[in-house]
Amino acid sequence: MAKIQKTVLNRVEGEIELKLLWENGRIKDAFIIAPNFRGFEFILEGKPPLDALVINPRICGICGHAHLIATVKALENLYENAGENIEIPEKAKLIRDLTLSSEIIQNHLRWFYLSVLPDFLKLDKNPKLRKYQPIKGSQWRKGLDYSSKIVKVVAIFGGQWPHTSYAIPGGVTSDPTTFEVAEAIAIVSSVLDFYEKNILGMPADKYLSVKNLDEYLENAKSSDLKAFLNLCLKHNLHKVGKAYHRFLTVCDISPSISKGTTKRKRKDFDINKVKEVDAYSFLTEKGFSFDKNRYSWAKAVRYDGLPYETSPLARRINNRDELFLNLVNDFKDSYMVRTWARIDEVLKLLLSMKKWLSQIDIKETSYIKPKKDVKELEGKAFGFCEAARGSLIHEIQVKEGKIKKYNIITPSTWNLGPRCPDYLSPAEKAIKGLKSSLLAEMVLRSFDVCSVCTTH
Amino acid sequence: MQFFEREHLRSIFTKPTNYINTNRGKEYYDNLYKKMEKRLNELKAQQPVREAEIKFQELLETWELSRRDFLKWVSATTAMLMLPPQFEPLVAQAAEVMNRVPIIWINIQDCAGNTEALLRRASPTVDELILEYLSVEYQEVIMAAAGDQAEENLHKAVKDFDGKYLLFVEGSIPVGMPEAFTIGRHPKTGVEHVKHLAEHAAAVIAVGACACFGGVPAAHPNPTGAVGVMDIVKGKPIVNIPACPANPANITGVIIHYILTGELPELDSLLRPKFAFGYRIHDNCERRAHFDAGEFVEEWGDEGAKNNFCLYKMGCKGPFTFNNCSIVRYNEGTNWPIGVGRGCIGCSEPDFWDKYATERPLADSDIQPPGLHGVEAAVDEVGLGLLTATVIGIGVHAVASAIAGKKDETNEEQ
Ligand code: SF4
Ligand code: SF4
């Protein structure tokens, strides 16, 4: 019998560690370890509900704004569940979508240039790739530069990035001027221009009609996406990194993101089917446990008993995008397709942002006061939000004006959590069977690792 | 103490909180100038940390920044450090020898927010100044190395620059529950990690509310027993750069100051650099005139909100918070929370998650008046943690009129 070897890769990205079991030069099993825990859910307990609006964005320095939106939606849902109709002005909705989209775009750009492309320098010795070298590479810098640019849109409407707290039940506190809206339009246009020239290698409208990989490669001028796809084909990354081929999206961002779950067929998302399993987590129903078989601060989360991937790829599939339905048909949910979906999403959101900015009516109010004080409400409620890495769920329970229980399920809990007794997490499954630790790292990164989100 | 007396309120809101004496006389500045010149010459004589010297001028060009952009940044930084304009050439030179100081940056119980804020800074982008020109030997978010290679790089940096590097720490440290942060092939707890690296550093710089005072993780009930760096590191110079996230300008400011003088900047009793935390948000707030006039937002979305009135009654903690974001702002000066009508949550003050952070007006919050300690002591200790419900009720107009006297006083000072 072949000998089983164990290796540990620490700090694969941020704090995430990877424990790998090898047999005959292949990865026989993979454990994703999230070793950093802060305990937000405990800290929220007993605090007034509105405190969650300032505390929760601090769950993550990269997608904190998504946590703000999930929180505010949970509070608004609390009103609805109590039979209090809550009205949100169109302007506030547009502003929330705009800022959320900026945060998602900054994340994807940063991730593509700071995490994904530098990996290829280790895989491929072609000197042309030097432009992707961290800090020194010209494209690396540009990527960082434009990801800094787009977050200024969050700052314009939300005050700062990271960590904004300007959304409140009933709307937003900001009242932008025409000048500020124009500033945001200028930023979005410049990022779009960068995106078309540097990433797509073709105009946006042409790209939108692309139906498959070959068609794209034939028509694109040299660009970073084209270079990336060619590298994937060269190193067989269109064949590895497959997870469960099951996709979950909890929330709409019209028109390019629609909620739903896809197993073989697409169905509606039903929150009652979501369950957390703590069999391998240090954090348990009863408190903490450091038993030998537990290995992560994250819990596993299952939908209808099964692991699902939640990500930009899941959003493309649940949105029935033709290109991605074809890609998944041809290459499954592989490394290449998962990564491409993130890059694709940048375009969809930039185009939406342009439209939303033109729809803002600055004369409209930004806030409609709810009829009741949130302190008078009791009960349980959910806030759903699509964040950069996938679907985010906040659950709040309020009693006597205080938070009784708060539960957070992040995209990374779905993708990078530990196993449950029956299934590995999607990323663990995707890593199993690979032949090198570099590939294991790369596949893990295709899920866009965020350790702090995984555990919170 | 007669808390509600007009004179008393006046003293609270007119107290000069700017502890840096901005004019210390010609002799002082002449000496300082000489000292800095000497230090810069010493640094220039040294080798850059990395083997190949990158020329600063070339760097400006590759980043497509003009000399003018750079000089603009130099003036802003000089002013931020509260140095008179004649120090600008020295600050420019300091930027040019930044690559003589090695930096190690570690993340413990963090959210990476400070790193992200730093990466999102420009003019001229600290991406080039800090990341490229400054010698960052180890930084988990931007480095390409992972696994054992990352660990080796760190060991090597500690050995090569023993006693010379600046250690930046982001995130709090869980002393109550070591399992909440234990990482590495040779598992080390957060406490061991920080203590070890601090021991070999020239100085330790805590970045963000978490590393300084424990931040969110330390909020009640503090499930992991999180603390800040200064609670576990002893016998080393420490600087706290709080706020959530810490303003990148203040991080650069501390580094430039260190390069200019070889010393850490002047600190307050919470170890915060006075150049950044020597005054209150409220002192330089764009809505201050409305505060003075007694014009307040009474409710989100009301006429006051549309007219950018003061947010005090909506829970703004600006009068109790020491920080310079009213001047520096965030995202390259794009905006700040008060700019979008949200109010300040006091994120540069200790325990602000339990005390200040909410939109509860002070009337409903737990903030205690300083009572017997007297206002002055409190100003420096907890960032002026005072004012009760009644004060707001009775005091607003009294305060407003008291404030009117402030401008004259400031003029006198200048
Ligand atoms: S201080 Fe704020 S930005 Fe920093 S690590 Fe803590 S929560 Fe994140
Ligand atoms: S908004 Fe806040 S900081 Fe500004 S003047 Fe009013 S109370 Fe002071």
Are residues B142 and A135, on separate chains, in Cβ contact within 8 Å? yes
Indicate which ligand has the atom closest to the C-alpha of B280: 2
In this structure, is the dihedral angle defined by the CA atoms of residues B115, B121, B127 and B130, taken in order, positive or negative?
A: negative
Ligand 1 centroid to B114 CA: how many Å?
6
User: For residue A188, which amino acid is it?
Assistant: V
ipTM, two decimals, is: 0.90
Distance from the Cα of A286 to chain B's closest Cα (Å) equals 14
Ligand 1 centroid to B379 CA: how many Å?
24
Cβ-contact A391, A207 below 8 angstroms: no
| Beta carbon of B210 within 6 Å of any ligand 1 atom | yes
Are residues B217 and A38, on separate chains, in Cβ contact within 8 Å? yes
Could you give the C-alpha distances from B378 to A77, A281, A453, B12, B283, in angstroms and in order? 41, 44, 37, 11, 17
Using only C-alpha atoms, chain B has a radius of gyration, in whole angstroms, of: 22
| Beta carbon of A61 within 6 Å of any ligand 1 atom | yes
Ligand 1 centroid to A209 CA: how many Å?
43
User: For residue B124, which amino acid is it?
Assistant: P
The predicted pLDDT at position B249 comes to 87
Query: Rounded to the nearest 10 degrees, how much is the dihedral formed by the CA atoms of B129, B133, B137, B139?
Result: 30
Of all protein residues, the one whose alpha carbon is nearest to atom 6 of ligand 2 is: B310
Q: Which residue of B has its CA nearest to A153?
A: B334
Q: Both tokens of residue B309?
A: 């009135």
Average pLDDT over residues B375-404: 34
Q: Which residues of B108-124 are buried (b: 16+ CB within 10 A; e: fewer)?
A: bbbbbbbbbbbbbbbeb
Helices (H), B200-239: 208-213, 229-232
Nearest ligand 2 atom, CA B311: 1
The predicted pLDDT at position B139 comes to 84
Q: What is the pLDDT of residues B213-232, one digit of tens each?
A: 999 999 999 999 999 999 99
**Residue that has been written with the tokens 């004019």 in this structure:** B23
Are residues B330 and A160, on separate chains, in Cβ contact within 8 Å? yes
Of all protein residues, the one whose alpha carbon is nearest to atom 7 of ligand 1 is: A58
Distance from the Cα of A156 to chain B's closest Cα (Å) equals 6
Ligand 2 centroid to B309 CA: how many Å?
9
Cβ-contact B272, B322 below 8 angstroms: yes
Phi, psi (5° rounding) for residue A256? -105, -5
Cβ-contact A417, A308 below 8 angstroms: no
Give the span between the Cα atoms of B372 and A250, in whole angstroms: 54
Q: In chain B, how many H helices and how many E strands?
A: 20, 9
Helices (H), A319-389: 322-331, 335-359
Indicate which ligand has the atom closest to the C-alpha of B209: 1
Distance from the Cα of B333 to chain A's closest Cα (Å) equals 9
Cβ-contact B178, B191 below 8 angstroms: yes
Q: Both tokens of residue B333?
A: 């000066």
Give the span between the Cα atoms of A223 and A198, in whole angstroms: 5
Distance from the Cα of A119 to chain B's closest Cα (Å) equals 8
Could you give the C-alpha distances from B101 to A285, B71, B95, B123, B201, in angstroms and in order? 48, 22, 11, 21, 11
The predicted pLDDT at position B35 comes to 93
Residues from chain B contacting residue A136 (CB–CB below 8 Å): 132
The predicted pLDDT at position B122 comes to 53
Nearest to B176 by CA among B231, B126, B110, B124: B231
B2 or A336, greater pLDDT:
A336
Are residues B330 and A155, on separate chains, in Cβ contact within 8 Å? yes
User: For residue A139, which amino acid is it?
Assistant: Q
In a mutational test of the pocket of ligand 1, which residue from B169, B210, B240 has the highest number of ligand atoms less than 8 Å from its CB?
B210
Phi, psi (5° rounding) for residue A263? -105, -85
Ligand 2 centroid to B126 CA: how many Å?
30
A–B CB contacts, 8 A cutoff, strictly below = 232
Are residues B340 and A157, on separate chains, in Cβ contact within 8 Å? yes
A346 or B319, greater pLDDT:
A346
**Residue that has been written with the tokens 């794009």 in this structure:** B334
Give the span between the Cα atoms of B135 and B104, in whole angstroms: 9
**B113: Cβ contacts below 8 Å, ≥ 6 apart:** A58, A60, A61, A62, A64, A162, A163, B208, B244, B245
3-state secondary structure of B237: coil
In a mutational test of the pocket of ligand 1, which residue from B111, B116, B205 has the highest number of ligand atoms less than 8 Å from its CB?
B111
Are residues B120 and A36, on separate chains, in Cβ contact within 8 Å? no
Are residues B360 and A162, on separate chains, in Cβ contact within 8 Å? no
Residues from chain A contacting residue B331 (CB–CB below 8 Å): 148, 151-152, 154-155, 160-161
Among left, alpha and beta (phi > 0; psi -120 to 50; other), residue B178 is alpha
Ligand 2 neighbours, Cβ below 6 Å, are: B 281-282, 285, 287-288, 291, 310-312, 316, 318-319, 338, 344
B359–A contact, CB cutoff 8 A: yes
* Cα B82 from chain centre: 15
Could you give the C-alpha distances from B233 to A271, B187, B205, in angstroms and in order? 46, 20, 11
Cβ-contact A34, A52 below 8 angstroms: no
Look at residue B397 and tell me whether its pLDDT is greater than 80. Answer: no
Q: Both tokens of residue A290?
A: 């450091």
Distance from the Cα of B122 to chain A's closest Cα (Å) equals 8
Q: How sure is the predictor about B375, in pLDDT bands with cuts at 50, 70 and 90?
A: very low
Q: Both tokens of residue B41?
A: 């010459």
* Cα A414 from chain centre: 11
Ligand 1 centroid to B216 CA: how many Å?
7
**% pLDDT > 70, chain B:** 75
Please classify residue A64 by burial: count the beta carbons closer than 10 Å to its beta carbon, then call 0-12 exposed, 13-18 middle and 19+ buried: buried
Nearest ligand 2 atom, CA B344: 2
Residues from chain A contacting residue B183 (CB–CB below 8 Å): 10-11, 15, 17, 35-36
B216–A contact, CB cutoff 8 A: yes
The predicted pLDDT at position A51 comes to 92
Residues from chain A contacting residue B125 (CB–CB below 8 Å): 145, 148
Q: How sure is the predictor about B351, in pLDDT bands with cuts at 50, 70 and 90?
A: confident
Q: At what angle do helices A335-359 and A224-234 cross, to 10 degrees?
A: 160
Of all protein residues, the one whose alpha carbon is nearest to atom 8 of ligand 2 is: B282
Q: Both tokens of residue B314?
A: 């909506």
B112–A contact, CB cutoff 8 A: yes
Indicate which ligand has the atom closest to the C-alpha of A64: 1
The predicted pLDDT at position A327 comes to 98
Distance from the Cα of A37 to chain B's closest Cα (Å) equals 5
**Residue that has been written with the tokens 């509260």 in this structure:** B82
Are residues A173 and B341, on separate chains, in Cβ contact within 8 Å? yes
Give the span between the Cα atoms of B330 and B243, in whole angstroms: 12
Query: In chain A, what is the greatest distance between 2 CA atoms, to the nearest angstrom?
Result: 74
Closest CB from B151, B216, B299 relative to A369: B299
Give the span between the Cα atoms of B356 and A44, in whole angstroms: 15
**Residue that has been written with the tokens 């895989």 in this structure:** A123
Of all protein residues, the one whose alpha carbon is nearest to atom 5 of ligand 1 is: B110
Q: How many CB atoms lie within 10 A of CB A342?
A: 25
A58 DSSP assignment = G
Query: Rounded to the nearest 10 degrees, how much is the dihedral formed by the CA atoms of A18, B222, A75, B367?
Result: -150
Q: What are the E-state strand segments in A34-184?
A: 167-168, 171-172
Of all protein residues, the one whose alpha carbon is nearest to atom 6 of ligand 1 is: B210
Ligand 1 centroid to B229 CA: how many Å?
14
Per-residue pLDDT of chain A (456 residues), as tens digits, is 678 888 888 777 778 899 999 999 999 999 999 988 999 999 999 999 999 999 999 999 889 999 999 999 999 999 999 999 999 999 999 999 999 999 999 999 999 999 999 999 999 999 999 999 987 788 998 998 899 899 999 999 999 999 988 999 999 999 999 999 999 999 999 999 999 999 999 999 999 999 999 999 999 999 999 999 999 999 999 999 999 999 999 999 989 899 999 999 999 999 999 999 999 999 998 889 999 899 999 999 999 999 999 999 999 999 999 999 999 999 999 999 999 999 999 999 999 999 999 999 999 999 999 999 988 999 999 999 999 999 999 999 999 999 999 999 999 999 999 999 999 999 999 999 999 999 999 999 999 988 788 888
Cβ-contact A206, A197 below 8 angstroms: no
